[in-house]
Amino acid sequence: MSDEAAVEATTAQGEAFGFRARLGEMMQASPLAPDELMFNLGLYVRSSLLVKFLVLHDVYRRIQHIPGALIEFGTWRGQNLVLLENLRAIHEPFNKQRTIIGFDTFSGYPEEAGMAAKSTETHGGYDTGRTYPDYLGELLQVHEGMNAFGHLRGNHRLIAGDVCETAPKYFADHPETLVAFAFFDMGPYEPTAAALQAILPHMMPGSVLLFDELTWAGAPGEAIAFKEAFRDRPYKIEKCQFYPSKSLVTLT
Ligand SMILES: C[S@@+](CC[C@H](N)C(=O)[O-])C[C@H]1O[C@@H](n2cnc3c(N)ncnc32)[C@H](O)[C@@H]1O
């Protein structure tokens, strides 16, 4: 890239950050009443967020025909769990067998992960606060309650703690579990490898895995764990159509 082009690119990036900050200000100072805001949230959804919704929609269509739970390893605020519940309601309104499970410490990256200072500072190290899992649990129930067969609730689980311990324990305690979909969004090798080892015996042909950063040199742990786990397993891999840095793996 020429110096001139580099300056132009940096300026363009700076301008985009400025608009992003302005969007935040405009949302905070929204003239919409809270009720109106709930119906018009799209006013503030950026393309970089909308694309995540599209990715999950694509995933849902792929796993709809197979049984099993939908899991997110690295849940943080739980937006994806809520989206999955609502995609379930749209695609399979009467299927109350779709357990949706979120694994997270809910207190951010464990210190030894070495992630706290580096790539997580914009979100306070992803610490959601002690009471957040209760809030998220109720939020999931509220969404469930508004959807078809809303009187049947309780199919969602939030598992707090280090995945290296909670994932093997969860599957030992719930041997009936089948896994239709798992999203890996933690980053480091150890929890990703532990979660992969825990779920693989419970997956079947057609099960889908979504990896957030399989090709990112900044955090090679995901790729290393993936290659180890899939060395002798048949699978198909593709990059997400709308979000090329995310990868989709389907068991064959
Ligand atoms: C990038 S954030 C996840 C973002 C979320 N998937 C989303 O799309 O909104 C990574 C999450 O992984 C969690 N995490 C990291 N290491 C973990 C571990 N060993 N056990 C459980 N959760 C972990 C962090 O607490 C953090 O919430």
Residue 105 CB–ligand 1 contact under 6 Å? yes
Q: pLDDT of 79-115, one tens digit each? A: 999 999 999 999 999 998 999 999 999 999 987 766 6
Residue 98 CA to ligand 1 center (angstroms) comes to 22
Output the pLDDT for position 151: 84
Residue 247 CB–ligand 1 contact under 6 Å? no
Residue 79 CB–ligand 1 contact under 6 Å? yes
Atom number in ligand 1 closest to CA 107? 25
Output the pLDDT for position 26: 98
- The residue contributing the CA closest to ligand 1 atom 22 is 104
* pLDDT more than 70, % of the chain: 91
Mean pLDDT within 181-189: 96
Residue 11 CA to ligand 1 center (angstroms) comes to 32
Atom number in ligand 1 closest to CA 77? 9
Output the pLDDT for position 150: 81
Site to probe by mutation for ligand 1, drawn from 59, 118, 126 as the one with most ligand atoms within 8 Å of Cβ, is: 126
Tell me whether residue 184 is exposed, middle or buried, using C-beta atoms within 10 angstroms of its C-beta: 0 to 12, 13 to 18, 19 or more. buried
Residue 165 CA to ligand 1 center (angstroms) comes to 15
Residue 104 CB–ligand 1 contact under 6 Å? yes
Locate the domains of the chain by residue range.
1-44, 47-251
Residue 75 CA to ligand 1 center (angstroms) comes to 6
Site to probe by mutation for ligand 1, drawn from 51, 104, 184 as the one with most ligand atoms within 8 Å of Cβ, is: 104
C-alpha span between 179 and 203 (Å, rounded): 5
C-alpha span between 179 and 182 (Å, rounded): 7
pTM: 0.92
**Helices marked H in the chain — which ranges?**
3-28, 34-39, 47-63, 79-91, 132-146, 163-173, 189-199, 221-229
Output the pLDDT for position 80: 98
Question: CB of 203 within 8 A of CB of 235?
Answer: no
One CATH from 3.30.750.210, 1.10.150.120, 3.90.230.10, 3.40.50.150 for 47-251: 3.40.50.150
Residue 12 CA to ligand 1 center (angstroms) comes to 31
Residue 105 CA to ligand 1 center (angstroms) comes to 7
C-alpha span between 71 and 182 (Å, rounded): 5
Output the pLDDT for position 148: 84
DSSP state of 180: E
**Helices marked H in 108-162 — which ranges?**
132-146
- The residue contributing the CA closest to ligand 1 atom 8 is 80
Q: pLDDT of 33-42, one tens digit each? A: 999 999 999 9
Beta-bridged to residue 158, according to DSSP, are: 102
Q: pLDDT of 150-162, one tens digit each? A: 887 778 999 999 9
Distances (CA, A) of 5 to 8, 14, 17: 5, 14, 18
